[in-house]
Structure 1
Amino acid sequence: MSFHYKCFSHRECEYFPCHKGADPDHFNCLFCYCPLYLLGTECGGKFKLLANGVKDCSDCLFPHRPGNYEKVVEKLQQKIFKPFDKK
């Protein structure tokens, strides 16, 4: 079984790679808009809170590392979907 759905690089995107210092040969664009952002300080990534309270994720490469697909999905399951589990 192929697992190509877990990682791709959109090299023709005008912002690729969108994070300064990121290695374009090891950059996953699947989570272009990070699904963990809404978890606030519990996202597990490297972020800063600006003086105005805005979360700055420009130094975070967690969702863009090719091997982190399962970690992102697991975090979403724990924090978002688990509360709705009827067990």
Structure 2
Amino acid sequence: MSDNYKFFNHKKCEFFPCHKTDNPNEFNCLFCYCPLYALGKNCGGNFKYTDKGIKDCSNCLLPHNKNNYDYIMSKFQDIIKIAAIND
């Protein structure tokens, strides 16, 4: 079985690439909007917080790395915990 479902490169997108990269052919667009953003400081990416406390991911390529599909999928239980209603 191939792993083609783990990678999507959308060169025709008007925003491609949305982050600076030296290798646009390896740029993964599958997670165009990073599902790990909600994890804040626990996302594992290269981010910083602005002076106003906003998470700035403009220098992060974690979701766009061709080899990070399994890492992102491994974090979904953490995302579910954040999204759960805790009555």
Q: Same fold (TM over 0.5)?
A: yes
Q: What is the one-letter code of the residue matched to 1:29? A: C
Q: TM-score, normalised by structure 2?
A: 0.86
Give the number of the structure whose residues are more often helix, by fraction.
Answer: 1
Normalised TM-score (structure 1): 0.86
Instruction: Give me the CA root mean square deviation.
Output: 1.7
1:53 corresponds in structure 2 to 53
Whether 1:11 and 2:11 are equivalent positions in the alignment is yes
Residue identity over aligned pairs, in percent, reads 57
The runs of at least 4 aligned residues of structure 1 exceeding 3 Å deviation read 81-84
- After the TM superposition, which residues 28-47 of structure 1 pair with which residues of structure 2 at under 5 Å, given as runs? 28-47=28-47
Question: How big is each residue's C-alpha offset from its partner over 1:33-78, in whole Å with a ceiling of 9 and x where there is no partner?
Answer: 000001111100000100011100000001100010000000223x
User: Structure 1 stretches of 5 or more lacking a match?
Assistant: none
Partner of 2:2: 2
Q: How many residues get paired?
A: 83
- The secondary structure found in structure 2 opposite 1:66 is coil
State the SS of the aligned residue for 1:30: coil
